[in-house]
Structure 1
Amino acid sequence: MSEATGPAMPNLGSSLVPQQNPETVVIGPTPPMKDSQRMELERYMKRDAIFLSTFEHQRQRQNALMNEKQLEIRQTAQAGIEIFGPGYSPSYGNGSSIPLINGVPANNAFRIVYPAQRRRARKSKEFSFTKTMVEEQAQKEDVLVPIRLDIELDGLVLRDTFTWNLYESHITPEHFAEVLCEDLQFPVHQFAPHVAKAIRDQIQDYHLPALSVEEPILEDQDQVVAIEEAKSAQELRILIKIDITVANTSLIDQFEWDISCPNNDPEHFADVLAAELGLGGEFRTAIAHSIREQVQTHTKCLNLIGYNYDGSTVHDEDLKSSFLPKISTILREEDAVEQFTPILEKLTEPEIDKLERDRERDKRLASYVRILPGWPEDTTSPPDDAEAERIRNLPKSLVQDQARLHQLYPSDRFDILVRANGVSGEVSASMEDYRVRCLECPPGKLYNSGPEGTLQNFEVHLKSNRAHRSYVEQKKQRAGGTMPSYSIMPHAALQQPSQHPMPPSPLNPQQQNQQHHMAHHQQPQRMNGVGLGIEG
């Protein structure tokens, strides 16, 4: 019986290294290359590099040609869509991006349409920002400039308010104007230049508060001195007045605002106020915009006198009086609580129409004043002696009625404006050319004289307008004395608004009681602190 044979096992005792064949050639170190060999090798390497570069260039050209042909095919396939609608496109307008099943486009196939793939039938260029552009803009400070648009062309009216970043570097006013007009379906070629010009003019007119340089305080004694100086520093608190109408809802309110505090945020304040009153988003933007506009007015005046915003005293008396006095107590006086209560009014259709007519009238008067000849726009010099003499020659009835109103309302300030002649620039003598401007109310409102050479129309405003009486009472509380002031100026002087707001003047106690009694009868009914009546 033979033994079973299996795989041969190596002999562990023997060496596993194969025996060297005597004929095996041992490769040693590479001999040095000759100059001719080295030059030949360099030529091979150079040719390989040229081939790789040419091959890559050819591949890019092929890809570009392929993409171009795909675009042509896609546009040709969608030609029927543009003319006859989506029913004439392959597979109901889904185009060539849908998957194919056995060579046939799949109906109702799911696909993702990215923003770059959507169809955008617009002429204006779309806003497009790279990540680098966004990061670059994020490094800059946001300084919001209040922008107000009020443009009327060919029967179309564009009114809007928004804010513009002063340090915006990627969006131009011209580009923004084109997109805005397309969104609102306004004629771009007509409105876009006016919108861009209005934005640039208001950006150029914007004034930033000047920064003050303060040295660091190191010692405790210096800190105590700084705190005492801060207590005695000038407070830059102003009175913000808002009068906003959206649809049939009107909001009237006033509150104090510190323009020197960097933590005050108009947008946040508007959100809180609108939430408390249950108002919509349009009120939020309108409130914040109104705050920024009024703050900018005072900031511009402070910059004109060179104020450093370091807590020092404002030396200009007229400008200083426009700021509120220092707070002595956190509790507001009981008589002033009603003046700082927001009033919501639901307007009827006739009242809305009346507000619109008043707005159009004020706009026409403002534009009419700007085109009056005889008074240059960029001058603040008073009229010469001859013109001043003609201005003083008021009708006797106006002079008498003016004196009568001054006696009845010694704290109310107003101007009588005389319209200049449209041809010669001389002051007109017609009774219809006299206007009255109230200096206690926000600028812009003009009142006709009359009837028959009197000021009875304007007397109704002095006597019955609740907002006007409120402004006068606040002025008296701050000034501490009567400030009777009335003057006469040409109508064209309206083009130069005062840069130094005048402070309100107070009434004596008897007049305060009389006005409080009058306001009590005119005050609309309130529910939960919100007025539901209509201001006269």
Structure 2
Amino acid sequence: MKSFSLGASKAPVKFRMPTEENLVPIRLDIEVDGQRYKDAFTWNPDDPDSEVVSFSKRTVKDLKLPPTFMTHIAQSIQTQLAEFRSFEGQEMHIKEKIVPIKIDLRVNNTVVRDQFLWDISNFESDPEEFARTLCKDLNIGDPEVGPAIAVAIREQLYEIAAQSISSVREARLGKKGRRGAETVTNSKAGNSALDLVKYFGSKGSVIRKRKEWYLYEPIVDILSNEEVGALDAREELNAR
């Protein structure tokens, strides 16, 4: 796995994804007239808004969706980008924090479950490369799984980064208690994770505790078509 130089900074930095590329995770789940479209991908927030419209048109054309989907897709993407951009310019107070990342997803017939620790202070980390390496190591052949894992990682990192701003706001308002993803710092678990530098080097972003490998070993299941059909039916029922 590629190593990345540590981008930790104890001084406040302007809001952005704590990764090498400032890509926003976008998730769509749109239903119109009984037809449903679901997708997840990343988006460059610096792209012009016209790209959103072009993407929506191409998606509707390629997937042969009803024309009404175009507006819904564009609006959903623009809403999520607007939320991301609302944080821009504000300070993130991220120090050297190790945060738990959990993967539990199904893509087509493949189910992947995993858990590891991520150095959120490393602004040179690459979720996409990590996902590609993980899929290669686990012999996952479906090309859609890697991007889905990367999006899941980015969603969790985005939530933590956004909540770092919310926490600062709450502190300034004198509120007690902070909402946010659990961070592992200065705890027994956190110290153990940091000690593992001797195993993985000082430039890595992903850490697995050697003594807990048997607990957090990645799990990959390949479902039958019948099992996939049953899960899809259950999800549709829950959605309704």
SS in structure 2 at match of 1:294: helix
Identity %: 33
CA deviations over 1:301-357 (Å, ceiling 9, x no partner): 1111228xxxxxxx96544771013333317363x3223211011223443233223
What is the TM-score of this pair, normalised by structure 2? Answer: 0.71
- Report what 1:355 is aligned to: 231
| Higher relative strand content | 2
Q: Does 1:259 align with 2:120?
A: yes
Moved over 3 A (4+): 207-213, 315-321
Give the CA deviation at 1:234: 4.9
- Report what 1:272 is aligned to: 133
Match 1:249 to one of 110, 121, 133:
110
Aligned residue runs from structure 1 range 426-437, under 5 A: none
SS in structure 1 at match of 2:48: coil
The amino acid of 1:144's aligned partner reads L
CA deviations over 1:414-438 (Å, ceiling 9, x no partner): xxxxxxxxxxxxxxxxxxxxxxxxx
SS in structure 2 at match of 1:168: coil
* Structure 1 pair 277–151 and aligned structure 2 pair: CA distance change class (3 A): same
- Report what 2:158 is aligned to: 296
* Structure 1 pair 320–252 and aligned structure 2 pair: CA distance change class (3 A): closer
- Report what 1:283 is aligned to: 145
Distance 1:261 1:209 in 2: 19
Give the CA deviation at 1:262: 0.4
SS in structure 2 at match of 1:256: strand
* Structure 1 pair 294–358 and aligned structure 2 pair: CA distance change class (3 A): farther
Kept in 1, the 8 Å contact 2:91–2:165? The answer is: no
What is the TM-score of this pair, normalised by structure 1? Answer: 0.34
SS in structure 2 at match of 1:254: strand
Q: Does 1:240 align with 2:106?
A: no
Distance 1:319 1:235 in 2: 19
- Report what 1:327 is aligned to: 191
* Structure 1 pair 185–283 and aligned structure 2 pair: CA distance change class (3 A): same
Give the CA deviation at 1:278: 1.8
Distance 2:109 2:162 in 1: 34
Query: What residue ranges of structure 2 are gaps of 5+ in the alignment?
Result: 1-19, 170-174, 200-208
Aligned residue pairs, count: 196
Aligned residue runs from structure 1 range 79-478, under 5 A: 143-169=22-48, 171-188=50-67, 190-206=68-84, 207-208=87-88, 210-211=90-91, 234-279=95-140, 280-306=142-168, 317-319=177-179, 322-325=182-185, 326-328=190-192, 329-330=195-196, 332=209, 334=211, 336-364=212-240
Distance 1:212 1:164 in 2: 21
SS in structure 2 at match of 1:243: strand
The amino acid of 1:268's aligned partner reads E
Kept in 2, the 8 Å contact 1:209–1:299? The answer is: no
Kept in 1, the 8 Å contact 2:159–2:181? The answer is: no
Moved more, 324-333 or 178-187: 324-333
Kept in 1, the 8 Å contact 2:24–2:45? The answer is: yes
Distance 1:212 1:349 in 2: 45
SS in structure 2 at match of 1:151: strand
Q: Could you say which structure has the greater relative contact order, defined with CA pairs below 8 angstroms and 6 or more residues apart?
A: 2
Give the CA deviation at 1:177: 0.7
Query: What residue ranges of structure 1 are gaps of 5+ in the alignment?
Result: 1-140, 214-232, 308-314, 365-536
SS in structure 2 at match of 1:264: coil
The amino acid of 1:169's aligned partner reads P
Distance 2:48 2:123 in 1: 24
Give the CA deviation at 1:210: 4.4
Distance 2:124 2:37 in 1: 33
Give the CA deviation at 1:197: 0.6
SS in structure 2 at match of 1:305: helix
Give the CA deviation at 1:200: 0.7
Kept in 2, the 8 Å contact 1:142–1:167? The answer is: no
CA deviations over 1:243-295 (Å, ceiling 9, x no partner): 22222221111111122210111111111111111223211110110011111
SS in structure 2 at match of 1:167: coil
Distance 2:83 2:182 in 1: 21
- Report what 1:467 is aligned to: none
